[in-house]
Amino acid sequence: MERRVIKTEPFQTREENGKRYLDGYYSVFNREYEVYPGWVETIAPGAFSRTLREGKDVKVLWNHNTDIVLGSTENRTAVLSEDEIGLHGPVEINEQDQDAKNGYARVARGDVRGCSFGFDIRAMEESWDEDGTYRTRLTDVELYEVSPCTFPAYAQTSIQARAKEELEQATTKLEQAKEAKRAKWREEMLKRLRGEKEWH
């Protein structure tokens, strides 16, 4: 499972009919962020639509901690949806859960502003800039969880190491593709020089 940090607008806290909610964007479409130096990623509009359409249970966790579940789409304590800006939705605070109440207080005071989400990639687009920057655009992801988080996911050593490995794999793949293209060109030229193929 992958994790990405999203620098969104600050989460909002609100009270309604005696209940308290955290509300905000977990992902913003078309906003660039750096997964790792040399690797820039964006989320395409509609990237979460299949997950939402399939009705799979998505958890709202605190700092990706599976022991601190703030809400769940399955029981409607969390509601996620997409609009033209990104993926957003409220999560209802469980007043019997001290961790949830503490999280609410931290967001209300502005101590926690980041968000991250856990997912698997179903489809993405890849490209390379002339300066060597690797770009990925996620077009379809299977979403498992979203988390208000204290620190960005890619700032964690283990996540950085994995991102570096993935970037190295993508670079190797690009070099292999370039070499295959060069080899094909050399083969075509040799055939023409030998008279085995006409010049166009």
**Residue 158: per-residue pLDDT:** 35
Task: Mean pLDDT check: name the lowest of 9-18, 101-110, 143-152, 163-172.
Answer: 163-172
List pLDDT tens digits, range 113-156. Answer: 778 888 888 999 988 888 888 899 999 999 999 888 876 544 43
Q: What is the DSSP string of the chain?
A: -EEEEE--SPPEEEEETTEEEEEEEEEETT--EEEETTEEEEE-TTTTHHHHHHT---EEEETTEEEEEEEETTTTSB--EE-SSEEEEEEE--TT-HHHHHHHHHHHHTS--EEEEEEEEEEEEEEE-TT--EEEEEEEEEEEEEEEESS-GGGSHHHHHHHHHHHHHHHHHHHHHHHHHHHHHHHHHHHHHTTSS---
**Residue 55: per-residue pLDDT:** 93
